Amino acid sequence: MRPQNPNQEKNVRSKMQSAAIPVFRSKRTIVKRGFLYLAMLLAFTFIYTFLEPFWLETKTIRIADNDIPAVFDQVRIVFLTDIHHGPFFSKSRLRRLVQTVNRLRPDLILLGGDYVHRSPEYIEPCFQELSLLQATYGIYGVLGNHDHWEDPILTRESMQKAGIQNLDNKGIWIEKNGQRIRLGGVGDFLYDTPDIRPALSGLQSDDFLILVTHNPDFFEGQKTDMMDLAFAGHTHGGQVTFFGLWAPLIPSQFGQKYRSGVIQMGNAKLIISHGIGTITPPVRFFARPQIIVATLQAIDN
């Protein structure tokens, strides 16, 4: 019905306007709230990326193999890599790491390199702390690209002083009660001349071989018939990932292939750790720092 006079028309118009305002306001409120929640989520994610590097995970893996001698059944291997002691990974944090590892009562400790970050001044303090590691069959390690950048000579000297045996392009036997396993190391893929031959030297096909190297790219195209178990780091699990599924930046020539986890290569298992520390910026997202604990399981033939 049409209003009879101008006053009536004015009243109707003002009623219509006042009815429209709440609708308009409520839409604006929803949009505002949406932005607020999004901002809160982004802020939480941003803060979380700085907290995840402290959220250390102990990842346990069982390795069952016919070549493991009975006397080495249940031997516990702890693999630590990419500690990156430096401006973002303090000495007290390193000390706590060593205490955590010793509490795991490892039989053998393997170190995958990249001990320090940004300066050679961290090398000696790092190995002073690592000298407190304890393992029945000893502690062995290789160098990573950061160790070659900082000071490989000082790194090897400091390792030796700390009672850690360098395994770059070397192989040794670990023996017990007349049985043995082979432990070998390979120099860094990018800054050393990796040579697997010393690790394979004197090896029989039924010997159990454990290999350690820094950069998993080394394993691409390698013959795996004599290998049983291998450890590598370097990729930091991508460090910042899309919910653990994919990482935009990986220091590998083979994309996501060697990012993280256990990769079956023929009969051999390659374990790639996320590592302990970080490179710059000191953040992680869905790539928690890891201590790897691999337990050997002998299988009766």
Considering beta carbons, is residue 52 or 82 the nearer one to Fe ion?
82
Considering beta carbons, is residue 114 or 168 the nearer one to Fe ion?
114
Q: How far is the CB of 276 from Fe ion (least distance, A)?
A: 9
Q: How far is the CB of 277 from Fe ion (least distance, A)?
A: 7
Place of tokens 């400790």: 109
Considering beta carbons, is residue 158 or 252 the nearer one to Fe ion?
252
Among 67, 82, 168, 192, binds Fe ion (CB under 5 A): 82
Considering beta carbons, is residue 118 or 156 the nearer one to Fe ion?
118
The C-alpha atoms of residue 257 and residue 284 are separated, in whole angstroms, by 19
Q: How far is the CB of 22 from Fe ion (least distance, A)?
A: 57
The C-alpha atoms of residue 141 and residue 147 are separated, in whole angstroms, by 12
Considering beta carbons, is residue 184 or 277 the nearer one to Fe ion?
277
Q: How far is the CB of 26 from Fe ion (least distance, A)?
A: 52
Who contacts 172 (Cβ-Cβ below 8 Å, separation ≥6)? Answer: 140, 165, 182, 183, 184
Kindly indicate which of the ranges 93-101, 110-118, 149-157, 190-198 contains the residues binding Fe ion, using the contact rule CB under 5 A: 110-118
Question: Exposed/middle/buried for 25, CB within 10 Å: 0-12, 13-18, 19+?
Answer: exposed
Considering beta carbons, is residue 85 or 170 the nearer one to Fe ion?
85
Who contacts 3 (Cβ-Cβ below 8 Å, separation ≥6)? Answer: 9, 11, 12
Q: How far is the CB of 83 from Fe ion (least distance, A)?
A: 9
Q: How far is the CB of 34 from Fe ion (least distance, A)?
A: 39
The C-alpha atoms of residue 130 and residue 98 are separated, in whole angstroms, by 7
Considering beta carbons, is residue 69 or 238 the nearer one to Fe ion?
238
Strands 170-176 and 179-186: antiparallel
User: Dihedral of CA 141/143/147/151: which sign?
Assistant: positive
Residue type, 105: R
Kindly indicate which of the ranges 1-9, 23-31, 74-82, 165-173 contains the residues binding Fe ion, using the contact rule CB under 5 A: 74-82
The C-alpha atoms of residue 195 and residue 22 are separated, in whole angstroms, by 75
CA nearest neighbour of 185 among 215, 156, 142, 228 = 142
* Total chain residues near Fe ion (CB under 5 A): 2
Question: Residue 285 — φ and ψ, nearest 5°?
Answer: -145, 115
Kindly indicate which of the ranges 76-84, 134-142, 162-170, 215-223 contains the residues binding Fe ion, using the contact rule CB under 5 A: 76-84
Footprint of Fe ion on residues 11-40 (CB under 5 A)? Answer: none
Asked if 114 touches Fe ion (CB under 5 A), the answer is yes
What's the DSSP call for residue 230?
Answer: E
Considering beta carbons, is residue 69 or 152 the nearer one to Fe ion?
152
Q: How far is the CB of 236 from Fe ion (least distance, A)?
A: 6
The C-alpha atoms of residue 196 and residue 201 are separated, in whole angstroms, by 9
Dihedral angle at the C-alpha atoms of 64, 69, 75, 78, nearest 10 degrees? -70
Q: How far is the CB of 95 from Fe ion (least distance, A)?
A: 20
Per CB under 5 A, residues contacting Fe ion are 82, 114
